Structure 1
Amino acid sequence: MSDWQERLRASGHRLTPQRELVLAAVETLGHATPDEVYAEVRTRSEAINLSTVYRTLELLNELGLIKHAHLTDRAPTYHAAGGHEHAHLVCRGCHKVISVGTGKFEAALKSLVDEQGFTPDYGHLSVFGQCADCAAGTGDSTNS
């Protein structure tokens, strides 16, 4: 039995095909909104509805199996909790998302964290700005 299955059972939740499909979709897509997860899940099963996807994403997030970040002013974006812990740099021009290891953010914010006695949730951190390509005028800013 995999780690996610054990965590689900330990928390008193059943292992369902829908939960497995949603988790697999998040892992496949990398960073995805609920609508993108739903579209991916529907390629494998038409027996799941959007409200089930939303409830499953909330549950998997609560259990720490996935994480969410706000990469736009719209729906949250989900990504797998496994792998490396990271924060996000989001370009307002082309909407590129750059994943940055938390070590770089820890170093950059160390004095502020020490001064305030605060423990940030780096995996939830998103910094908005302009990527190097857009700043140089070579990015695709037609998406904005």
Structure 2
Amino acid sequence: MTPQRQLVLDAVRDLGHATPEQICTQVQQAAPAVNITTVYRTLDLLERIGLVRHTHLGHGAPTYSEQEHQHLHLVCHTCGSVTESPTDLMDGLARRLLAESDFALDPSHVALSGQCGECRDAAEARQ
């Protein structure tokens, strides 16, 4: 593992769910010469060897986190907040997908889009 790769992995661990740009910003604090291309290539490599994984939490860049996390991502399409819920919420859907479509769901790699309670309450208050 090169020093640059270790810095990228450390940034992923420190930041939790982070975009490549956020990871690059953190890495550049310790190594200003590391550019975004290096970060993208390193994230790709780290994902191929199973150390990190990416999730699409919306329309922007994917976010990266450590491989071992086990939760769903709930993304509010109004305010952009991201919360986490246990993967067992998807057990019924996973069983049905396997039975009806022969598809094995990876619920730890799922982002569900909707509207958080705060945004729903604010919309109701405006009506």
Taking structure 2 as the reference length, what is the TM-score of the superposition?
Answer: 0.88
Does the aligned pair in 2 maintain the 1:90–1:127 contact within 8 Å? yes
| 1:41 aligned residue (27, 43, 46) | 27
CA distances 1:70-112 after superposition (whole Å, capped 9, x unpaired): 1121211111113x31221100111111122211112344333
Look up the match of 1:66. Answer: 52
Instruction: Tell me by how many angstroms 1:47 deviates.
Output: 2.5
Evaluate the alpha carbon distance shift between residue 62 and residue 113 of structure 1 in structure 2; reply closer, same or farther with a 3 A threshold: same
Residue 125 (structure 1) aligned with residue 110 (structure 2)? yes
In the alignment, the residues of structure 2 paired with residue 55 and residue 116 of structure 1 have an alpha-carbon distance, to the nearest angstrom, of 34
C-alpha distance in 1 between matches for 2:50 and 2:9: 12
User: Number of residues paired by the alignment?
Assistant: 123
Aligned residue identity for 2:115: Q
Structure 1 CA distance for aligned equivalents of residues 109 and 121 of structure 2: 28
- Which secondary structure does the structure 2 equivalent of 1:136 belong to? helix
Change (3 A) 1:108 1:137: farther
Find the counterpart in structure 2 of residue 24 from structure 1: 10
SS for the counterpart of 1:32 is coil
Which stretches in structure 1 are left out of the alignment for 5+ residues?
1-14, 139-144
Q: Displacement of 1:68 after TM fit? A: 0.4
For residues 122 and 26 of structure 1, the distance between their equivalents in structure 2, rounded to whole angstroms, comes to 21
TM-score by length of 1: 0.78
- The percentage of counterpart residues that share the same residue type is 43
SS of aligned partner of 2:44: helix
TM-fit CA distance, 1:117? 2.0
Are residue 89 (structure 1) and residue 74 (structure 2) matched? yes
Work out whether residues 88 and 97 of structure 1, in 8 Å CA contact, stay in contact via their aligned partners in 2. yes
CA distance, structure 2, for counterparts of residue 42 and residue 112 of structure 1? 43
Gaps of 5+ in 2: none
Distance 1:67 1:80 in 2: 6
Equivalence for 1:110: 95
